[in-house]
């Protein structure tokens, strides 16, 4: 799918309806912005009803940690870097 959009005031763009529907994007959806060579890539951020359950078992640590949320955030950032 290839579409052209125009940038408006404050650098805003509107994604075509078909694209929003295909990726389940709604108002307040979050996107990751990456640069790849001379391209700008938008990556939809997945939302989970229960984020803790979605992460269960995905992090393997050698020893217990004092701040599990910080460890989970670090793990997610590393995975995002690997994927893009």
Q: How confident is the model at residue 83, as a pLDDT?
A: 67
Q: Distance between CA atoms of 84 and 70, rounded to whole angstroms? A: 22
Task: Quote the CA–CA distance of 17 and 71 in Å, as a whole number.
Answer: 37
1-47 CATH choice from 2.10.260, 3.30.1490, 2.170.220, 2.60.40: 2.10.260
Can you give the residue ranges of every domain in the chain? 1-47, 48-84
Residues 45 and 54: beta-carbon distance below 8 Å? no
pLDDT tens-digit readout, 34-60: 999 999 999 888 777 776 666 677 767
Kindly state the helix (H) or strand (E) to which residue 1 belongs, with its residue range. Answer: none
Euclidean distance between CA atoms 16 and 5, whole angstroms: 8
Give the predicted TM-score (pTM) of the model. 0.56
Instruction: Find the range with the poorest average confidence among 28-32, 58-62, 69-73.
Output: 58-62
Q: Quick one: which of 71, 44, 43 has its CA closest to 58?
A: 71
């Amino acid at each position: 799918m290839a579409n052209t959009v125009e940038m408006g005031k404050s650098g805003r763009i509107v994604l075509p309806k078909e694209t929003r529907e295909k990726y389940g994007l709604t108002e307040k959806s979050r996107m990751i912005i990456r640069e790849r060579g001379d391209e700008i890539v938008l990556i939809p951020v997945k939302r989970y009803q229960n984020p803790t359950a979605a992460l269960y078992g995905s992090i393997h640590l050698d020893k217990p940690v004092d701040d599990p949320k910080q460890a989970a955030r670090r793990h997610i950032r590393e995975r995002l870097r690997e994927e893009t």
